[in-house]
């Protein structure tokens, strides 16, 4: 998520990696499109196919990007910077409470802490930031192996829970620390022209493979959410988890390769609006869920499901684009910056 005070990735001192902003813009568009499609994604094959492809990779890649930006989570002496941890946790809980009240639900302690919807991401960010000092002491290879083992165990062995988003935090843990360990120089190597061509071809192949075997993969697809109870035998669940994760990783790499970085001409016309959205992801992420909830309450989906499939898909994507544009307004940016700017040092004062 875009946030004030975050150390921006740079390819040279003082210079942003422009394509990373564009990538974040692509990802927030996919997040909003996915959430707008969700209420009826099982009703129409066209919608289902697009929805499933988005969910295969968009959150792992978003989390990877968040990890890449998290290198400032500890100070020069390896000590935890608690402001970001507490801010994300408080914002996530407040978001959950507001969304439940907007949906007309009564509040209990369990509902306040139960995060089955969009607020889970903010609380998970707090958890991952909290773990940075530990993983910062590990070398990348053992750190990623350890994170992957936690993810596999939490996803395919134990029952899942949405309380404080613990299941999703564990499930997506490797993606966050893959981004954290990766340097800007290593990331740029993925942008070499030949590498990008290979990644795009691999991504297209992965998408076609999934769509060709969509019905056969339906049993393992719930693993992409990170909070679905595993109902498979262990010998089936682990390979299924690895397969669906591999498809998602290939698609994520393809998306990274496609992120535009043009500074002139047509490339600039594409990258500039995406970069604009990419620097406003947090406000869009929070606000769009209230719009989706309002659409459901007003019966929009009951009406829309009767439309022809191409028209339905085009309409939902157009609505998502409008939502992103509306909530990228500077006024929302100001409010969001105020929400993430508290300093919690008063809690440690004598």
Q: Per residue in 45-60, pLDDT tens?
A: 889 999 999 999 999 9
Give the Cα separation of 22 and 274 in Å (integer): 5
From CA 96, how far away is CA 117, in angstroms rounded? 8
Q: What is the pLDDT of residues 12-67, one digit of tens each?
A: 444 567 899 999 999 999 999 999 999 999 888 889 999 999 999 999 999 999 99
Strands (E), the chain: 10-12, 15-16
Whether the CB-CB separation of 249 and 60 falls below 8 Å is answered with: yes
Burial class (CB in 10 A: 0-12, 13-18, 19+), 155: buried
What pLDDT does residue 9 have?
44
Q: Which residues contact 79 (CB under 8 A, 6 or more apart)?
A: 133
List pLDDT tens digits, range 156-214. Answer: 987 778 999 999 999 999 999 999 999 988 998 888 999 999 999 999 999 999 999 99
Q: Rounded to the nearest 5 degrees, what angle is found at the Cα of 232, between the Cα atoms of 119 and 252? A: 50
Which band of pLDDT confidence, cut at 50, 70 and 90, is reported for residue 143? Answer: very high
| pLDDT score at 266 | 63
CA distance 316 to 46: 12
Q: Which residues of 75-87 are buried (b: 16+ CB within 10 A; e: fewer)?
A: eeeeebebbbbbb
DSSP-derived 3-state class of residue 11: strand
Contact call for residues 3 and 282 (beta carbons, < 8 A)? yes
> What backbone phi and psi angles, to 5 degrees, belong to 6?
-85, 140
% the chain with pLDDT above 70: 91
Spatial CA neighbour of 262 closest among 81, 55, 27, 21: 21
Phi, psi dihedrals of residue 219, rounded to the nearest 5°: -70, -30
Q: What is the pLDDT of residue 1?
A: 57
Name the 3-class secondary structure at 157: coil
Torsions phi, psi of 190, nearest 5? -70, -10
- What gap in Å lies between CA 297 and CA 262, rounded to an integer? 41
The Cβ of residue 201 has, within 10 Å, a number of other Cβ atoms equal to 12
Length of the chain, please?
A: 350
| pLDDT at 90 exceeding the cut of 90 | yes
The pTM (predicted TM-score) of the whole model is 0.92
Instruction: Give the residue from 170, 174, 166 showing the smallest Cα distance to 138.
Output: 174
Q: Which positions ≥6 away from 203 have C-beta within 8 Å?
A: 250, 251, 253, 254, 255, 257, 258
Task: Give pLDDT, residue 5.
Answer: 37
3-state SS, residue 267 = helix
Count of CB atoms situated within 10 Å of the CB of 138: 15
100: helix, strand or coil:
helix
Long-range contacts of 267-270 (CB under 8 A, 24+ apart): 270/22
Q: How confident is the model at residue 259 (pLDDT cuts 50, 70, 90)?
A: very high
């Amino acid at each position: 998520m875009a946030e004030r005070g975050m150390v921006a990735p740079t390819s040279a001192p003082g210079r942003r990696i422009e394509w990373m902003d564009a990538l974040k813009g692509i990802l927030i568009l996919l997040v909003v499109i996915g959430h707008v499609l969700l209420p009826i994604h099982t009703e129409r094959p066209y919608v289902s196919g697009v929805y499933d492809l988005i969910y295969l990779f968009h959150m792992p890649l978003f989390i990877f990007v968040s990890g890449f930006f998290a290198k400032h989570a500890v100070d020069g002496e390896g000590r935890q910077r608690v402001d970001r941890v507490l801010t994300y946790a408080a914002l996530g809980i407040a978001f959950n409470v507001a969304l439940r009240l907007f949906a007309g639900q009564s509040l209990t302690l369990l509902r306040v802490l139960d995060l089955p919807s969009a607020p889970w991401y903010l609380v998970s960010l707090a958890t991952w930031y909290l773990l940075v000092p530990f993983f910062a002491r590990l070398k990348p290879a053992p750190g990623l192996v350890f994170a992957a083992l936690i993810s596999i165990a939490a996803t395919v062995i134990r029952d899942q829970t949405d309380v404080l988003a613990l299941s999703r935090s564990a499930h997506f843990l490797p993606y966050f620390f893959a981004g954290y360990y990766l340097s800007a120089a290593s990331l740029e190597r993925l942008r070499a022209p030949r590498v990008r061509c290979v990644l795009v071809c691999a991504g297209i192949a992965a998408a076609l493979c999934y769509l060709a075997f969509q019905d056969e993969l339906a049993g393992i697809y719930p693993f992409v959410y990170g909070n679905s109870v595993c109902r498979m035998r262990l010998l089936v669940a682990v390979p299924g988890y690895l397969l669906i994760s591999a498809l998602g990783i290939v698609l994520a790499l393809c998306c990274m390769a496609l992120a535009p970085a043009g500074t002139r001409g047509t490339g600039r016309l594409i990258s500039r609006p995406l970069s604009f959205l990419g620097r406003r992801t947090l406000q869009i992420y929070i606000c769009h869920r209230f719009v989706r909830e309002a659409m459901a309450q007003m019966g929009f989906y009951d009406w829309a499901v009767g439309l022809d499939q191409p028209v339905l898909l085009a309409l939902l994507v157009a609505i998502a684009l409008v939502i992103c544009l509306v909530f990228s307004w500077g006024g929302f940016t100001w409010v969001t910056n105020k929400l993430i700017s508290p300093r919690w040092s008063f809690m440690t004062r004598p």
